[in-house]
Structure 1
Amino acid sequence: MTEFLSAEYWNQRYLNNASQWDLGDVSPPLKAYFNQLSNKDISILIPGAGNSYEAIYLLEQGFTNITVIDIAPAVIQSLKEKYPNQSAIQFIQADFFKWDGQYDLIVEQTFFCALDPDLREKYVAKMATLLAETGKLVGLLFNREFEGGPPFGGNQASYLLLFEKYFQIDRMDHCYNSVAPRAGTELFFIARKNNK
C-alpha cells in the first residue's frame, strides 16, 4: 500500500494541521449543488472526508443518511466527539478501497487528489461499484498540476479518459464559483454509472 494511503501518514498530517487544501468551510460549488437537492433521505457517501465540512453542511440542511469515511483515526475520533448523539451521519475509520455499500450520491472533495496517481484507475472502478444504479458521483477536481504531492493534479482531458471507462459524464466544467485561492483551477463534475 502506498505511503499516501496509510493511516499513519494521514493521521500525522491531521494531527500536525498539514492538509493545505483544507478550506475550513464547505466548498461553494458543492454547497450550491447540495442546495438544489430536494430528497433529504438519499444515501450519501463522502470518502476521504477529512474535517467533513460538506457532511456537516448536509446535516444542517436536514439530510438524514450520510456516511463519512476517512483512513485517519484522529480525524474520525475528533468528528465523533464534536458531533455525538446524532444518527444522520456515520463517521467511519476505514480504507475506502475495502469499503462496501450502495449510495445515491458520492461526493468527491479533495480525496482524488490525495491519492497516488497510480491508484486513479482503481479509484474510478471502486466508485462505480459503490454507486447505486441511478446514483451520481459529484464533486471537484483540480485542473492544474502540483509539484510533488499530495495533492496531485491533472487536467480535464486526462480525467475524461479515466472516468469514461466507468461513467457517463453529464458535466465536467470549469467552476464559476470556486473560492478565490482556487479560482480557475477547479472542475465541477457530475457523473452517472455506465449501466451497459
Structure 2
Amino acid sequence: MAYLDENYWSQRYLSGNTGWDIGYPSFPLVQYLDQIVNKQVEILIPGAGNGLEVAYAFQNGFKNIHLLDFSLPPLEGFKMKFPSFPESHIHHEDFFLHNHQYDIILEQTFFCALDPSSRIEYVNKMYDLLKPGGKLVGVLFNQYFEKAGPPFGGEKEEYQSLFSEKFEEVKITPCYNSIPERQGAELFIQIQKSKT
C-alpha cells in the first residue's frame, strides 16, 4: 500500500504537503502534558513527524521523551532545530518493529495515517509498548472522510470495541480543546493497560 511506504511520507515532507502538521503543538496534548507532575516518565510519540509536541515536552522538563517516525526528513529537521535533544531518543524506524516500553504513548495524527486494516495490529503493538499501568493518550478523528485516505476516520463505538479487545480501561470522550479547524471532529482517548 503506497501510503504506508516510507518514500510516500518522505515525499510529502519534502514537498511541504503536510496538512496534518498544524505548525504548533496540539492543544489537547499540551494540556495533558501540563498536568503531568512526574517529568521522569518515559513517553513515546509515534509518527511524530516534525516533533512539535516532542519539542514542547522536552523544553518543559520531560527528559525521557522519544519521537519515532519512519520518514527521515522530518527527523533530520528536528535534529537541526533541537541539537541538545538526545539522539538516542530519536527513532527512525517502523513503529511496528520498535521495541521498548513506555509509561505513556501520545497519539497525534498517527492512527489516522494507517490503513484501517492495520488497526488491530496497532492496538496489539500499543499494548506491547506500554509498561504495566501505562497509558495511551491522545486524539482520534470522530468522523469519516469522503476522500480516500489518509487520513482515515472512524467513530467512538468502533474505537471502543477495537481497544476493549485488549485493554481493560478505555475512556473515549469528545475532545473539548481541539484546534478550531477540528472542533467537534475529534475524540480524546485515555486507554490504560492493566497494572498486573
Point out where structure 1 has 5 or more consecutive residues left out of the alignment. none
Task: Give the corresponding residue for 2:174.
Answer: 174
Instruction: Tell me, yes or no, if the aligned pair for 2:133 and 2:195 is still in contact at 8 Å.
Output: no
The TM-score, its normalising length taken from structure 2, stands at: 0.95
Quote the Cα distance in structure 1 between the aligned partners of 2:87 and 2:103.
Answer: 15
Match status 1:31 vs 2:30: yes
Question: What is the DSSP-based 3-state SS (H/G/I as helix, E as strand, rest coil) of the residue aligned with 1:41?
Answer: coil
Task: Give the corresponding residue for 1:160.
Answer: 160
Instruction: Tell me, yes or no, if the aligned pair for 1:173 and 1:187 is still in contact at 8 Å.
Output: yes
Shift of 1:170: 4.4
Question: What is the DSSP-based 3-state SS (H/G/I as helix, E as strand, rest coil) of the residue aligned with 1:39?
Answer: coil
Q: In structure 1, give the amino acid aligned to 2:73.
A: A
Task: Give the corresponding residue for 1:145.
Answer: 144
Partner deviation per Cα, 1:99-149 (whole Å, 9 max, x = no partner): 000000000000000001100110010000000001110010000111211
Q: In structure 2, give the amino acid aligned to 1:166.
A: K
Quote the Cα distance in structure 1 between the aligned partners of 2:76 and 2:20.
Answer: 21
Q: In structure 1, give the amino acid aligned to 2:65.
A: I
Question: What is the DSSP-based 3-state SS (H/G/I as helix, E as strand, rest coil) of the residue aligned with 1:25?
Answer: coil
Quote the Cα distance in structure 1 between the aligned partners of 2:117 and 2:195.
Answer: 25
Partner deviation per Cα, 1:20-43 (whole Å, 9 max, x = no partner): 121111111111111110011100
Q: In structure 2, give the amino acid aligned to 1:167.
A: F
Task: Give the corresponding residue for 1:71.
Answer: 70
Determine what percentage of the aligned residue pairs are the same residue.
45
Q: In structure 1, give the amino acid aligned to 2:150.
A: P
Quote the Cα distance in structure 2 between the aligned partners of 1:175 and 1:164.
Answer: 20
Shift of 1:195: 5.9
Task: Give the corresponding residue for 2:4.
Answer: 5
- What root-mean-square deviation, in Å, do the aligned CA atoms of Structure 1 and Structure 2 show? 1.5
Aligned residues: 195
Point out where structure 2 has 5 or more consecutive residues left out of the alignment. none
Q: In structure 2, give the amino acid aligned to 1:103.
A: Y
Task: Give the corresponding residue for 1:58.
Answer: 57
Task: Give the corresponding residue for 2:184.
Answer: 184
Shift of 1:168: 2.6
Instruction: Tell me, yes or no, if the aligned pair for 1:66 and 1:88 is still in contact at 8 Å.
Output: no
Quote the Cα distance in structure 2 between the aligned partners of 1:189 and 1:87.
Answer: 28
Q: 1:34 to 1:89 in 2, by over 3 A?
A: farther
Partner deviation per Cα, 1:32-61 (whole Å, 9 max, x = no partner): 111110011100000000111110110111
Q: 1:103 to 1:144 in 2, by over 3 A?
A: same
Quote the Cα distance in structure 2 between the aligned partners of 1:107 and 1:90.
Answer: 15
Q: 1:101 to 1:145 in 2, by over 3 A?
A: same
Question: What is the DSSP-based 3-state SS (H/G/I as helix, E as strand, rest coil) of the residue aligned with 2:154?
Answer: coil
Question: What is the DSSP-based 3-state SS (H/G/I as helix, E as strand, rest coil) of the residue aligned with 1:181?
Answer: helix
Quote the Cα distance in structure 2 between the aligned partners of 1:63 and 1:45.
Answer: 11
Task: Give the corresponding residue for 1:83.
Answer: 82
Question: What is the DSSP-based 3-state SS (H/G/I as helix, E as strand, rest coil) of the residue aligned with 2:168?
Answer: strand
